[in-house]
């Protein structure tokens, strides 16, 4: 073996052969702009440059500018951005940052002088990742899963079904992130603000339990069945099992208001839609989410105000 080849890493060298320390745990945030490829190519550079600046400003306004200043393995994805951070910040990244990001994007879009409107999907995850300051740090399964969550059907459907003038952010949290930061009580948002979903990605072997959070819901988001790829007629309402006891393929959706709607979505996944307080929508509703991973939403709704 030559001296050069002896210095090259060997593919899979050492895997499953001996025990070693885990890499440090890192929080991971990834964002992606909706309809990026729908803009003329001349606008792509503007959007790519604006996204990290919007992240910086929103983190500073949320009082956690240190997350941006100390970000780890940052990278632009063209239509988005990803970086790691100390996981102790995760509860504050979930709240208030996601809400502040919604406000900053709304302000940006109102004052935008061109035709560009930036609306973001956000994914949050926690896991062990190499972080020694080397060039290829941050690569690993948690990073891959963060991007899969960002591309998953539920979060795409949520942003596509919302009003573009009201909802600028749709976020998806990994189950680990939710359990560590939300269910444990460290985040300043009650678990009922989050919607449990099965996160799947078109053409990928990915199917994980995840949680949606929309800081400013609007439009069809009050009909939680926009989450499915194929929506069928509602069945009779039935009691809802608490979300932590629901099997992996079961979804408990909670949002502000009092009625319980149940339905079936793509793959036979059960959905329970719970709304508590204020106005609520009654009656049977049917809709269909079709197209490119939920980017196009069609459906009929019969609403009864009480």
Write phi, then psi, for 70 (nearest 5 degrees).
-105, 20
At 234 the pLDDT is 33
At 15 the pLDDT is 82
Given a contact cutoff of 8 angstroms between Cβ atoms, the answer to whether 31 and 101 are in contact is: no
**Closest listed residue to residue 294, CA positions, set 226, 233, 232:** 226
Kindly state whether residue 211 falls inside one of the protein's structural domains. Answer: yes
At 152 the pLDDT is 96
Is 302 a residue whose pLDDT tops 70? no
CA 205 to chain centre: 18
Residue 150 is part of a domain; what is its CATH number? 3.30.70.1230
At 13 the pLDDT is 57
Instruction: Express each pLDDT in 175-193 by its tens digit.
Output: 999 999 999 999 999 999 9
DSSP string, 8-64: SPPTTTTTTTS--PPPPEEEEEEEEETTGGGS-HHHHHHHHHHHHHHHHHHHHHTT-
Taking residues 150-179, what's their average pLDDT? 95
Kindly state whether residue 15 falls inside one of the protein's structural domains. Answer: no
Structural domain count, the chain: 1
Report residue 217's pLDDT band, with 50, 70 and 90 as the boundaries: very high
At 94 the pLDDT is 98
| Pairwise pLDDT comparison (198 vs 2), residue with the higher score | 198
Question: What is the Cα–Cα distance from 192 to 256, expressed in whole angstroms?
Answer: 8
At 306 the pLDDT is 38
Question: What is the Cα–Cα distance from 250 to 270, expressed in whole angstroms?
Answer: 5
Question: What is the Cα–Cα distance from 202 to 219, expressed in whole angstroms?
Answer: 25
Is 60 a residue whose pLDDT tops 70? yes
The region of weakest confidence among 95-104, 162-171, 181-190, 284-293 is: 284-293
Is 223 a residue whose pLDDT tops 90? no
Taking residues 275-291, what's their average pLDDT? 37
**Count of all residues that appear for the chain in the document:** 306
Q: Percent of the chain, pLDDT > 70?
A: 68
Kindly state whether residue 3 falls inside one of the protein's structural domains. Answer: no
Kindly state whether residue 61 falls inside one of the protein's structural domains. Answer: yes
Kindly state whether residue 264 falls inside one of the protein's structural domains. Answer: yes
At 254 the pLDDT is 40
Kindly state whether residue 232 falls inside one of the protein's structural domains. Answer: yes
Kindly state whether residue 20 falls inside one of the protein's structural domains. Answer: no
Report residue 128's pLDDT band, with 50, 70 and 90 as the boundaries: very high
- Range among 31-40, 147-156, 257-266 rated most confident: 147-156
Taking residues 115-128, what's their average pLDDT? 94
pTM reported for the whole predicted model: 0.71
Report residue 10's pLDDT band, with 50, 70 and 90 as the boundaries: low
Report residue 297's pLDDT band, with 50, 70 and 90 as the boundaries: very low
**Closest listed residue to residue 264, CA positions, set 282, 295, 238, 243:** 238
CA 40 to chain centre: 26
Average pLDDT, the chain: 77
At 144 the pLDDT is 96
Kindly state whether residue 9 falls inside one of the protein's structural domains. Answer: no
Q: Provide the domain limits for residue 289.
A: 25-301
């Amino acid at each position: 073996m030559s001296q050069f080849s002896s210095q090259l890493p060997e593919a899979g060298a050492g895997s499953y052969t001996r025990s070693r320390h885990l890499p440090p745990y890192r929080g991971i945030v990834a964002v992606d702009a909706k309809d990026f490829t729908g803009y003329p190519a001349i606008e792509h550079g503007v959007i790519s440059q604006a996204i990290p600046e919007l992240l910086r400003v929103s983190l500073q306004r949320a009082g956690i500018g240190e997350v941006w200043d100390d970000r780890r393995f940052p990278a632009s994805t063209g239509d988005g951005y990803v970086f790691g951070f100390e996981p102790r910040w995760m509860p504050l990244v979930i709240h208030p940052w996601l809400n502040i990001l919604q406000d900053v994007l709304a302000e940006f879009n109102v004052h935008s002088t061109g035709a560009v409107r930036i609306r973001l999907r956000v994914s949050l995850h926690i896991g062990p990742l190499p972080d020694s300051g080397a060039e290829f740090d941050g690569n690993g399964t948690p990073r891959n899963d963060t991007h899969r969550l960002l591309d998953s059907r539920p979060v795409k459907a949520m942003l596509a079904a919302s009003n573009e003038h009201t909802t600028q952010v749709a976020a998806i949290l990994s189950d680990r992130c939710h359990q560590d930061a939300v269910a444990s009580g460290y985040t300043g948002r009650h678990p009922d603000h989050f919607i449990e979903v099965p996160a799947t990605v078109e053409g990928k072997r990915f199917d994980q339990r995840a949680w949606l959070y929309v800081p400013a819901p609007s439009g069809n988001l009050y009909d939680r069945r926009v989450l499915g790829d194929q929506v069928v007629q509602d069945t009779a309402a039935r009691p809802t099992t608490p979300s932590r006891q629901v099997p992996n393929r079961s979804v408990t959706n909670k949002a502000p208001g009092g009625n319980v709607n149940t339905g079936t979505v793509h793959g036979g996944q059960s959905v329970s839609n719970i709304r508590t307080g204020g106005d609520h929508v009654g009656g049977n509703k049917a809709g269909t989410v079709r197209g490119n991973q939920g980017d196009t939403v069609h459906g009929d709704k019969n609403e009864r105000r009480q």
